[in-house]
């Protein structure tokens, strides 16, 4: 990447060398200030995915309205979910009091697309065009039944707060390949299908018991994208550089007196902070994006903080080798009025998701970028509340849901796993959330059983003591 402040850096190094030439720490310090290439990370095995873009759909998209067609349900509208299907499994208290569990067949039409013939709903017209890049897993399953524990489980491998998130594990295990940007970047957007749902929590990208340096950096949608990035009013980059030079000089003098390497590290961190002050605005500045690219992502792309804008930003982060980019799009929790609400969500996400895949492919980045698209659980075939020809709602369903993958190391055009006619239970090839996380780490070159951190006397893993790599979806 172009380096804008070379002149300033030069001056800066000169000042610094003058004031600390006699010090013992000079060599170490000077090497820290070199714009050296970051060390190539050591992995357990060759990584298929150098980076990941995880498109988290928060609130739980309805699998039978988007990905897993159940035509035989059409005749069963309003009939009660048979006990033989439900098998006494627990329900949330939002519907456990219902006298009946009326089946609500999806009102959306499905058709097959691409060479692979993957089935997709009519409300995903853009993603239908990239199905040959997708790997669809219809048999994800999880343990939690409420949003907070479920999304925490996807992100950390535990329903309860306190464990590191998957991106923090990746940062801890693999480090950064970019010296000017964070290793784990999080982007969030509200959905138009249900504008107030579902809240997100800082823990979802937190570092748990790992050092906090591994926590995700959430780019904000207002003010500074990275907290406190901008200089105060009245302070321009020249003034800032000047103060940083003094700071460096004084810190270096102190380093010479005390010889604590922490001081050298701090000097280097101030330099990176300074570089971020130009690398982040440059990242966010879309003026060099051609019109046809912007159009590909759809009209929302010009609205900062939209899912489409975040998808484009994800591509720009991927280009800069940011290891782990995670989008969270809210608004998928459709307990009532699902048909209208889910259309809104698809308008938000369909075009931009497809554009991201296409755009990465055109730039030869898809081959070593892993894309994941999915939520925290699925939804019930039965309606929460009444069901009509045009309207219904669906409660939480942890026993099966659909997730998409694309890009590095995954089979293209594959539809994997089979659910029963009610989309209630898994018939074939279950994939647990731990299996998914094991597979994601595997693609990044990490053996999930060996990426451990000792805390409270125990060697913790993202996958706890579980997780099997889903070999069948690997290319």
Partner 1 sequence: MSKLMIIFPVALMLASNCPVRADSKIRFDRQVRPILSDACFQCHGPDESKRQGGLRLDLVAAAQQGGDSGPAVVAANLEASELWKRVTSTDPDRVMPPPKSGKVLKPEQLETLKLWIQQGAEHQEHWAFQRVARPTVPTVEGVTNPIDAFIRHRLRQEGMTAAPEATRETLIRRVTLDLTGLPPTPAEMDAFLMDPAPDAFEKVVDRLLSSPHYGERMAQQWLDFARYADSNGFQVDSSRQMSAWRDWVIAAFNRNLPFDQFTIEQLAGDLLPNPARDQIVATGFHRNVKLNGEGGRIQEEWFVETVIDRIETTGLTWMAMTLNCCRCHDHKYDPISQKEFYQLFAFFNSIDESGVLEVEGGNTRPVQKIPSTEHELRLEQLQQAIPAAEAKLASLMTTSEARQAHWELEFAKQLDSNPEIWRRFVPAEVKSLGGATLTKQPDDSWLASGTNPANDEYQIIGPIAAGTMTGLLLEAFPDPSLPNMSLGRYPNGNFVLTDVDAVITAPTLATPINAEINRAVSDYDQPGWPVQAIVDGKSTRQGRNSKGWAVDGPTKRENRKAMFLFAAPVAVPPDATITIQLRHDAIGGHNIGRFRFSTTSWPVEKVKLDTASIPASLRLAIATRKSDRTQAQLDEIAAHFREYADAEIKQAEQAIAAAKKAVTEYEASVPTVMVMKELPMPREAFFLKRGQYDQPGDKVERGVPSAFPSLPAGAPLNRLGLAQWLASREHPLTARVWVNRAWERFFGTGLVRTTENLGSQSESPSHPELLDWLAAEFMEATTLPAVAGKAAAKWDMQAMQKLMVMSLTYRQSAVLVPVDDPENRLLSRGPRLRLPAETTRDQALAISGLMVPTIGGPSVRPYMPEGVWDETSRYGDLRGYKPDSGAGLYRRTLYTIWKRTAPPPSLMLFDAPAREVCTVKRSRTNTPLQALALLNEITYVEAARKLGERMLTEGGSSAEERLTYGFRLATARRPTNDELQVLVDGLNEDLARFQRAPETATQYLSVGTSKSPESLRPTELAAYALTANVLLNLDEVVTRE
Residues 352-411 that bind partner 1 (CB under 8 A): 384-386, 388, 391, 393, 395-396
Cβ distance to partner 1 smaller for residue 79 or 449: 449
Contact status: 260 vs partner 1 (CB under 8 A): yes
Neighbours of 252 (CB within 10 A): 23
Cβ distance to partner 1 smaller for residue 393 or 417: 393
Q: How far is the CB of 237 from partner 1 (least distance, A)?
A: 12
Q: How far is the CB of 128 from partner 1 (least distance, A)?
A: 25
Cβ distance to partner 1 smaller for residue 173 or 409: 173
Cβ distance to partner 1 smaller for residue 265 or 367: 265
Contact status: 262 vs partner 1 (CB under 8 A): yes
Contact status: 299 vs partner 1 (CB under 8 A): no
- Distance in angstroms (rounded) separating the CA atoms of residues 31 and 222: 36
Site track 38-77 with partner 1 (rule: CB under 8 A), x = hit: -x-xxxx---------------------------------
Cβ distance to partner 1 smaller for residue 283 or 473: 283
Residues written for the chain? 475
Q: Binding partner 1 by CB under 8 A: which of 52, 145, 357, 365?
A: 145
* Interface of this chain with partner 1, residues 265 to 294, rule: CB under 8 A: 265-267, 269-270, 272-273, 276-277
Cβ distance to partner 1 smaller for residue 118 or 341: 341
Cβ distance to partner 1 smaller for residue 128 or 251: 251
Torsion of CA 398, 402, 404, 409, to 10 degrees: 80
Contact status: 475 vs partner 1 (CB under 8 A): no
Cβ distance to partner 1 smaller for residue 360 or 433: 433
Cβ distance to partner 1 smaller for residue 373 or 460: 460
User: Is residue 134 within 8 Å of 123, Cβ to Cβ?
Assistant: no
Binding range to partner 1, per CB under 8 A, among 34-42, 107-115, 352-360, 361-369: 34-42
Q: Binding partner 1 by CB under 8 A: which of 246, 303, 363, 428?
A: 246
User: Is residue 185 within 8 Å of 319, Cβ to Cβ?
Assistant: no
* Interface of this chain with partner 1, residues 148 to 177, rule: CB under 8 A: 148, 160-162, 172-175
* Interface of this chain with partner 1, residues 177 to 236, rule: CB under 8 A: 182, 188, 190, 193-203, 206, 210-213, 215, 217-218, 220-224, 226-236
* Interface of this chain with partner 1, residues 421 to 460, rule: CB under 8 A: 446, 449-459
Give the per-residue SS3 of the chain: CCCCCHHHHHHHHHHHHHHHCCCCCHHHHHHHHCCCCCCCCCCCCCCCCCEEEEEEECCCCCHHHHCCCCHHHHHHCCCECCHHHHCCCCCCCCCCCCCCCEECCCCCCEEEECCCCEEEECCCCCHHHHHHHEEEEEEEECCCCCHHHHHHHHHHCCCCCCCCCHHHHHHHHHCCCCCCCCCEEEEEECCCCCCCCCCCCHHHHCCCCCCHHHCCEEECCCCCCCCCCCCCCCCCHHHHHHHHHHHHHHHHHHHHHHCCHHHHHHHHHHHHHHHHHHHHHHHHCCCCCCHHHHHHHCHHHHCCCCHHHHHHHHHHHHHCCCCEEEEEECCCCCCCCHHHHHHHHHHHHHHHHHHHHHHHHHCCCHHHEEEEEECCCEEEEEECCCCCCCCCCEEEECCCEEEEEEECCECCCEEECEECCCCCCEEECCEEHHHHHHHHHHHCCCCCCCCCEEECCEEECCCCCCCCCCHHHEC
Contact status: 119 vs partner 1 (CB under 8 A): no
Q: How far is the CB of 405 from partner 1 (least distance, A)?
A: 23
Task: Give me the phi and psi of 454, to 5 degrees please.
Answer: -85, 125
How many chain residues interact with partner 1 (CB under 8 A)?
117
User: Is residue 462 within 8 Å of 456, Cβ to Cβ?
Assistant: no
Q: Binding partner 1 by CB under 8 A: which of 12, 156, 251, 437?
A: 251
Q: How far is the CB of 144 from partner 1 (least distance, A)?
A: 10
Cβ distance to partner 1 smaller for residue 8 or 273: 273
Q: How far is the CB of 406 from partner 1 (least distance, A)?
A: 26
* Interface of this chain with partner 1, residues 322 to 341, rule: CB under 8 A: 328, 330, 334-338, 340-341
Binding range to partner 1, per CB under 8 A, among 73-81, 109-117, 123-131, 245-253: 245-253
Q: How far is the CB of 265 from partner 1 (least distance, A)?
A: 5
Cβ distance to partner 1 smaller for residue 125 or 149: 149
Q: Which residue in 456, 403, 442, 469 sits closest to 166, CA to CA?
A: 442
């Amino acid at each position: 990447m172009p380096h804008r402040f070379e002149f300033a850096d030069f001056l800066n190094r000169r000042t610094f060398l003058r004031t600390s030439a006699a010090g013992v720490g000079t060599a170490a310090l000077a090497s820290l200030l070199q714009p050296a290439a970051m060390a190539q990370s050591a992995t357990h095995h060759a990584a298929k995915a150098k980076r990941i873009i995880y498109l988290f759909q928060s609130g739980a998209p309805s699998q039978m309205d988007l990905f897993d067609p159940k035509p035989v349900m059409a005749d069963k509208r309003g009939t009660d979910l048979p006990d033989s299907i439900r098998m006494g499994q627990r329900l949330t208290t939002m519907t456990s009091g219902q006298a009946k569990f009326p089946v609500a067949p999806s009102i959306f039409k499905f058709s097959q697309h691409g060479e692979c013939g993957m089935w997709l709903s009519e409300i995903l017209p853009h993603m239908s065009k990239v199905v040959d890049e997708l790997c669809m897993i219809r048999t994800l399953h999880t343990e939690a039944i409420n949003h907070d524990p479920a999304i925490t489980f996807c992100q950390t491998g535990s329903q309860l707060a306190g464990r590191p998130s998957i991106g923090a594990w990746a940062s801890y295990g693999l480090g950064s390949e970019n010296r000017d940007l964070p290793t784990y970047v999080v982007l969030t957007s509200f959905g138009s299908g249900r504008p107030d749902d579902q809240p997100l929590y800082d823990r979802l990208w937190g570092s748990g018991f790992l050092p906090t340096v591994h926590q995700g950096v959430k780019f904000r949608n207002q003010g500074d994208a990275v907290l406190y990035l901008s200089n105060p009013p009245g302070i321009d980059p020249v003034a800032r550089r000047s103060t940083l030079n003094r700071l460096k000089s004084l810190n270096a003098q102190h380093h010479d007196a005390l010889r604590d390497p922490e001081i050298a590290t701090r000097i280097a961190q101030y330099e990176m902070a300074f570089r971020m002050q130009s690398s982040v605005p440059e990242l966010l500045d879309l003026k060099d994006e051609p019109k046809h690219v912007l159009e590909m992502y759809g009209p929302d792309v010009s609205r900062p903080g939209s899912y489409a804008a975040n998808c484009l930003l994800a591509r720009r982060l991927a280009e800069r080798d940011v290891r782990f980019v995670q989008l969270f799009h809210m608004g998928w929790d459709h307990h009532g009025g699902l048909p209208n609400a889910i259309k809104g969500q698809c308008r938000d996400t369909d075009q931009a998701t497809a554009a991201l895949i296409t755009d990465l492919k055109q730039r030869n980045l898809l081959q070593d970028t892993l894309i994941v698209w999915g939520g925290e659980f699925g939804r019930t075939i039965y309606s929460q509340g009444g069901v009509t020809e045009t309207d219904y709602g669906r409660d939480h369903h942890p026993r099966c849901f659909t997730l998409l993958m694309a890009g590095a190391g995954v089979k293209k055009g594959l539809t994997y796993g089979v659910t029963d006619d009610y989309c209630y239970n898994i018939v074939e090839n279950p994939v647990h959330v731990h299996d998914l996380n094991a597979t994601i780490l595997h693609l990044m070159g990490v053996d999930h059983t060996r990426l451990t951190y000792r805390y409270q006397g125990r060697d913790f893993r993202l996958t706890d003591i579980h997780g099997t790599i889903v070999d069948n979806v690997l290319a």
